[in-house]
C-alpha cells in the first residue's frame, strides 16, 4: 500500500533553497532531494519544500514563514506499508501528516436554475454598493479551484474582467497557462465572484484537476493546496514588504472545495489527520495567511440531509471538515434567490475537534449565471455560494483596508449584520448566522 504523506522537517539548506526558488518562480540551485529525510520516505522531488514557520497555528504574522527564517518545512513523500499496517505517527522523530484527496463541491441533482445572477446582485444590493464605489476596485481575488478559462468568462460577462496572470500560479508538474484552463468549475467560481465585485482583479490558482477523460471532474490531493497557499503567502508578503507599495488594497481567497468523508483521511486518533486537526500544516498556512491580512472564504460542502452528494457516503452530520471548519475563515452555506436553504448544503455543527458553529453565513447559489457547467446548468452547490460571498467581501474591501479592519474583525461584522431567516436570532446549523448582507455591513462600517 503506497500512502502519500506530508512530513515536517527542520530547516536545512536544501529545503530553504527549494522554498526560496518556488517563491521566486525559478529552478532551485540545490535540489530538494539533497535534504536529510527519514529513510523510509520516498521523497516527491517535484514538490518544493514549504516553509511553515514554527509549525503550529499560533503564529500571528507572515514574517516567520519566510524561507530564510522558517524553523520548519513540509515535504511530500510516500510510505510503502502492508495492507493492515498502521500509518506511523512519526518517522525518525518527525511528524507525519495526511495528504488526503480533495474535490470540488459539485451538486447531486439535476434541478434547473432558480433565478439569475442579476437576481443575486439585486438581493445583495449590488447596484447600491457600486454607486458607493464598493465594486472590488484594487482588490485581488484568488480563485483556488480547477483554473479559469478567460475566453468563456469574457463571453459570459460580455466584457473583459481584470486579471493578473503574472501573480497567478501553476502547480508543479502542470503546464497549462493561467486563464487558459478548460471551461468548468473554476470558471464558474470566477464568474460568481465578479457578480458583486466586477472590478476586482482575478488571480488564477488551480489546485484541482479539471476535466478528466470522459468529462468527469477529478480532484487532487491536499499537498497541491499546501503549495498554492505557500505561494499566496509569498505573494502577499511581498505586497506588504516594508517600504514597498502594495499593488492591491486587499487579498480575498475563494475555496469551493474540500473533503466529502473522513475515510479519505488518516484514521481517527492519528495526530497527523487533517479533517479535525487545527495544527495540520495546511491549517497552519490558512491561519497564517488570514492573520497576515487576507480574507479566506470556504464552501461548507454538499452533504446536506435532503440531497447529499453520493461522495458523502450517507454521512450528513459533522460534514464541514478541515480548513472549511477553521475559526479563521468565512464558511458559506447555500440558499436560493428566494432565501430558501438548498437541500445539498452541508449543515452544522462541524466535525468534532474543529470550530463548531459552521457554517458562518449563507449565500446565493443554484442560479443561472456562467453556464460554465453546461448550457442551461445552474451555478450551483456551496461552490457557487462561496465565490458570491467572496465577491461581497471584495466589494467591502474596496474601501475598508485590512489594516483598518483585520479579517477576523470583518468576519465578526459580517456575522453581526447578516440578514436573519425564519425568525432565527442566533446561529443555527442550516443558515449559520443568516444570509450575508454586504450593504448592511458596509453601512455599519460607514462606507
The owner of cell 539533497 is 34
Q: What are the cell numbers at 417? A: 449584520
Catalytic residue from among 72, 152, 181, 185: 185
Report phi then psi at 301, rounded to 5: 120, 170
DSSP H or E segment with residue 363: strand 361-364
Instruction: Point out the catalytic residue in the list 44, 145, 192, 328.
Output: 145
Measured N-to-C along each axis, helices 381-397 and 185-193 cross at an angle, to the nearest 10 degrees, of 30
Q: Is 56 a catalytic residue?
A: no
- Mark whether 145 is an active-site residue: yes
Does 152 qualify as catalytic in the annotation?
Answer: no
Distance CA 341, CA 320 (A): 16
Q: Residue 163 — φ and ψ, nearest 5°?
A: -135, 160
Give yes or no for a cis peptide into 368 (omega within 30° of 0).
no
Residue 445 contacts residue 413 (beta carbons within 8 Å): yes
Is 423 strand, coil or helix?
Answer: coil
Select which of 18, 137, 287, 383 is catalytic: 383
What DSSP assignment string belongs to 73-104? EEEEEEEE--TTPPPPSEETTEEEEE--EEEE
Only one residue has cell 502594495, namely 246
Cell (9 digits) for 231? 505561494
Question: All 3 cell numbers of residue 119?
Answer: 437576481
d(CA 148, CA 140) in angstroms, rounded, equals 15
Residues assigned a catalytic role: 145, 185, 383
Amino acid at each position: 500500500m503506497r500512502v502519500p504523506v506530508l512530513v515536517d522537517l527542520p530547516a536545512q539548506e536544501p529545503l530553504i533553497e527549494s522554498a526560496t526558488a518556488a517563491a521566486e518562480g525559478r529552478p532551485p540551485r540545490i535540489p530538494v532531494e539533497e535534504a536529510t529525510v527519514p529513510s523510509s520516505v520516498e521523497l516527491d522531488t517535484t514538490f518544493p519544500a514549504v516553509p511553515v514557520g514554527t509549525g503550529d497555528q499560533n503564529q500571528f504574522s507572515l514574517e516567520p514563514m519566510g524561507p530564510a527564517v522558517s524553523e520548519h518545512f513540509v515535504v511530500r513523500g510516500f510510505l510503502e506499508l502492508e495492507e493492515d499496517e498502521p500509518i506511523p505517527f512519526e518517522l525518525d522523530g518527525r511528524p507525519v501528516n495526511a495528504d488526503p484527496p480533495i474535490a470540488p463541491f459539485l451538486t447531486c441533482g439535476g434541478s434547473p436554475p432558480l433565478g439569475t445572477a442579476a437576481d443575486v446582485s439585486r438581493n445583495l444590493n449590488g447596484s447600491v454598493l457600486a454607486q458607493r464605489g464598493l465594486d472590488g476596485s484594487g482588490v485581488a481575488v484568488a480563485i483556488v479551484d480547477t483554473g479559469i478559462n478567460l475566453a468563456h468568462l469574457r463571453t459570459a460577462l460580455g466584457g473583459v474582467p481584470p486579471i493578473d496572470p503574472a501573480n497567478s500560479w501553476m502547480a508543479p508538474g502542470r503546464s497549462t497557462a493561467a486563464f487558459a484552463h478548460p471551461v468548468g468549475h473554476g470558471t464558474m467560481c470566477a464568474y460568481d465572484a465578479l457578480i458583486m465585485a466586477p472590478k476586482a482583479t482575478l488571480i488564477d490558482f488551480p489546485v484541482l484537476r479539471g476535466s478528466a477523460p470522459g468529462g468527469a471532474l477529478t480532484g487532487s490531493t491536499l499537498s497541491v493546496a499546501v503549495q498554492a497557499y505557500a505561494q499566496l503567502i509569498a505573494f502577499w508578503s511581498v505586497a506588504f514588504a516594508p517600504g514597498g507599495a502594495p499593488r492591491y488594497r486587499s487579498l480575498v481567497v475563494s475555496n469551493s472545495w474540500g473533503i466529502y468523508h473522513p475515510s479519505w483521511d488518516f484514521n481517527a486518533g492519528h495526530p497527523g489527520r487533517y479533517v479535525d486537526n487545527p495544527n495540520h500544516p495546511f491549517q497552519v498556512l490558512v491561519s497564517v495567511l488570514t492573520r497576515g491580512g487576507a480574507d479566506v472564504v470556504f464552501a461548507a460542502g454538499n452533504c446536506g440531509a435532503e440531497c447529499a452528494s453520493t461522495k458523502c457516503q450517507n454521512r450528513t452530520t459533522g460534514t464541514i471538515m478541515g480548513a472549511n471548519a477553521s475559526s479563521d475563515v468565512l464558511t458559506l452555506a447555500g440558499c436560493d434567490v428566494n432565501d430558501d436553504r438548498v437541500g445539498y448544503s452541508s449543515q452544522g455543527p462541524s466535525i468534532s475537534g474543529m470550530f463548531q458553529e459552521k457554517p458562518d453565513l449563507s449565500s446565493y447559489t443554484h442560479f443561472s449565471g456562467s453556464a460554465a457547467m453546461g448550457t442551461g446548468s445552474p451555478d450551483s452547490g456551496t461552490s457557487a455560494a462561496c465565490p458570491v460571498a467572496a465577491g461581497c467581501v471584495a466589494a467591502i474591501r474596496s474601501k475598508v483596508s485590512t489594516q483598518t479592519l483585520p479579517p477576523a474583525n470583518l468576519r465578526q461584522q459580517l456575522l453581526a449584520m447578516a440578514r436573519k431567516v425564519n425568525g432565527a436570532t442566533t446561529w443555527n446549523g442550516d443558515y449559520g448566522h443568516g444570509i450575508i448582507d454586504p450593504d448592511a455591513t458596509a453601512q455599519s462600517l460607514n462606507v
